[in-house]
Structure formats: structure tokens, C-alpha cells
Amino acid sequence: MDTQKQEIEQLQQRLTQYNYEYHVLDSPTISDFEYDALMRRLIELEEAHPEFKTADSPTQRVGGQLLEGFTEVAHTVQMQSLTDVFSKEELLAFDERVRSSLGTDTVPYAVEMKIDGLSVSLEYENGRFVRGSTRGNGYVGEDITANLRTVKSIPLRLKENLPYLEVRGEVFMPRQSFIRLNEQRESIGEALFANPRNAAAGSLRQLDSRITAQRNLDIYVFNVQQIEGKDLSEHIESIEYLASLGFKTIPEKKIFIGMENVWNEIQRISELRGELPFDIDGAVIKVNRFDQRQVLGVTIKTPRWATAFKFPAERRESKLLDIALQ
Ligand SMILES: NC(=O)c1cnc(OC2CCCC2)nc1N
């Protein structure tokens, strides 16, 4: 029996690592064929020894149960929204307010893509994924844990057993998956999704997680909401730490001082748009240092230490999309 337990635990660890390499690092080290064979072996062993089938085993991503509805989740830390700016003048005004509140001209900003998806909260206890929820109104969201477990770039087990961690990320559907999904729906006469964001929202709100599992959703994590067992003092450090835990974090971890440099980065991100495999609708500019964020504080709904520079809506040349928009 002991050897069976060892074989199961070793397979769980190996398949967790292979899943991480494929879905988070996008650099697999074994073939799909080998991965599938190992997964079939683990499923077989766990069926024979259910006492070793742990909730965070790689075989446990798709639940069997059909939900009646979604229970509510009260967010301990509000999931704030961002103020939007649409011009360089408005961006400069944001910076002016930040610098005068801080009484300094040295404000390091993090600038990152604004993923056009759904904001979600992920909670981990002792390093294990225990709950996932939608943003809702920022205070109360819906429990979509079973559906988020099917997103392969969401770790079920962290590389450190932190007592508690809550992170925030944006779930999205890659554009190719969106086009394929609409082609499938068109072929069976179902209504099409208007855009990848709506398709991701519809996929996360399924009562049957087996349907969610087929939608090829992905996620970028970009904020620590709450953490026990680790001190963090700035945004970039927190993102690098989340990456070390096994999360797929928002790309581009650079700091900029001075709004000309920030503006150039926003332009660079805007030029990236056409070649990204997913939709972005802007860039997010955040004060990097948490002590400076503390001084700036938050308003009812939005932080004073961040803003979103919005890009104009993209015109996508695609027949399916035109049908969807009719
Ligand atoms: N859609 C995004 O990519 C995105 C959204 N929000 C944030 O930051 C919020 C979180 C905490 C206050 C600012 N960053 C992002 N990259």
C-alpha cells in the first residue's frame, strides 16, 4: 500500500509541475502524449485508492456536480474599480494630483496592460485554492470556485504553504478560442458572443463546470488583496512573488519615473494590441510603492494611486463578429 501512496503522490507532484510548465510558463517539457498517459495512470490509481485522491490533485479540476445557483461571497477587501482617463492631458492631471499629495516629484509608476476580461478573486488557505469569486459590486460577488478550478493556469496548490492569500486577476478568453467557440455556436444555430469578454463571462457563469472546462479560459493575476506570512512593500515585488508561488502574472514588470516615460510605455502597449492573442482595452498606471499608496488612499470605489488609460474600441474585421453585433 505504501508504494501505491508514493506512486500517487509522485504522479500528483509531477503532473502539477507539467501543468504549470504548459499553462503558466507556456514551455512544456514533456509531450501531450506522455502527459495524457501519466494523467490516465493517476486517474486509475486514484480510483483504486480514493483515500489518496486529494482535492488539489491535478485530476480534480473538473467537478462532477451541477450547481443549482451561485452562493454569495463577501469580499473582506473591496475589489475596487479604476478611474479612466482618455487623453494625455487627463493622465498628466492624475500625475499632478499624485505628486502634490505626496509632496515629491519622484513617483515610480508601474505600467501594465489592461486585460479586457473579468476580474476575479482567488483565495488560498495553507497554500491550497479554497474559493474563487466574481467581483460583483466590489463588496459582494458570486462563488464560482468550481468553474475557476477548471482554468488550468490557476494553481490548485501554491509552491509555498502561506497561511492565507487572496489575489485578484483577470480571466479572459484568447481570441482564437472565441472565434472557434462562435463558429461552433453558429453551426448549431446558437446565439453568438459579441466579444471575448462576454464569452469569458458566459463561460464563468456556467452552473456545469464541465462546460467551463471546454472554454479554454486563461488568467493574468495582478494584485495581492490580502496576505498572511509575507511582507511586501511594492507592486513589482508582489507580482514577482506571486509568480514564484506559481501564478500566471500580468506581463511587463517595469518601473517608470516621469510621465514622458509612462506615456511612451502606454504607446508601446497600444502598438502591441494587434499582435496579442487576447484583448486589452488600455493600460493601467499604478504607484509602485505601497507606502506612497498608503498616503494617497482610496475613494469610495477607486484608488487614488492608480488610473486606467483607455484605448479606443478596436474594429475587428470578422464576419462572425459582424453577425454577433447585428
Ligand atoms: N484588467 C486589468 O488588467 C487590470 C485591472 N485592475 C488592475 O489594478 C486594479 C486592482 C487594484 C486596484 C487597481 N490592474 C490590471 N492590470
Dump pLDDT digits (tens) for 158-206: 999 999 999 999 999 999 999 999 999 999 999 999 999 999 999 999 9
Contact in structure between 191 and 217 (CB atoms under 8 Å)? no
Given a cut of 60, whether residue 81 has pLDDT beyond it is yes
In whole angstroms, what is the distance from residue 75 CA to residue 79 CA?
Answer: 7
Only one residue has cell 494587434, namely 274
Q: 284 C-alpha to center of ligand 1: Å?
A: 7
Q: pLDDT tens for residues 9-29?
A: 999 999 999 999 999 999 999
Could you tell me if the CB of 116 is within 6 A of ligand 1? Answer: no
Q: For ligand 1, is residue 307 a contact (CB within 6 Å)?
A: no
Question: Residue for cell digits 459582494?
Answer: 140
How many residues does this entry show for the chain?
A: 326
At what angle are helices 175-187 and 196-204 packed, to 10 degrees? 70
The CA–CA distances, whole Å, from 96 to 104, 208, 235, 288 equal: 10, 49, 21, 16
User: Closest Cα to residue 310, out of 113, 151, 19, 168?
Assistant: 113
Give the β-pairing of 280-287 and 109-115: antiparallel
Nearest CA to ligand 1 atom 2: 114
Quote the longest CA-to-CA distance of the chain. Answer: 69
287 lines ligand 1 (CB under 6 A): no
